[in-house]
Amino acid sequence: MNSYDVKIKNRMKRIEGQLRGILKMMDEGKDCKAVVTQLSAVRSGVDHTIGVIVSQNLKECILEAKSNEATNDSVQEAMELLVKSR
């Protein structure tokens, strides 16, 4: 079972706030450069959050693994998740 700590949830709330801000910027007709800059910041935040979640869950999987094969599967799955996120 995955657990998400308060820091990750707060990070996601911050990203949600940034997205709401971008929508407001669009409604106000802000220029393209400002909107794209904020979208890039959101993308960076999401990418970082994905990395944190995968690494934390990988650590948990490795600590709980009873066999070397299970550990290898966990590592492979984490690598695939990171590649998919890009």
For residues 64 and 82, what is the distance between their CA atoms, to the nearest angstrom?
A: 21
pLDDT (tens digit, 0 to 9) for every residue of the chain, 86 residues total?
A: 566 889 999 999 999 999 999 999 999 999 999 999 999 999 999 999 988 888 887 777 677 665 556 667 767 777 777 777 66
Extract the tokens encoding 81.
């998740």
pLDDT for residue 32: 96
d(CA 6, CA 10): 6
Measured distance CA(43)–CA(30) in Å, rounded: 19
* All domains in the chain, ordered by first residue: 6-85 (1.20.58.1000)
pTM for the predicted model, two decimal places: 0.71
> How many angstroms separate the Cα of 72 from the Cα of each of 24, 47, 58, 81?
45, 24, 11, 14
- Looking up tokens 């990070």 gives 11
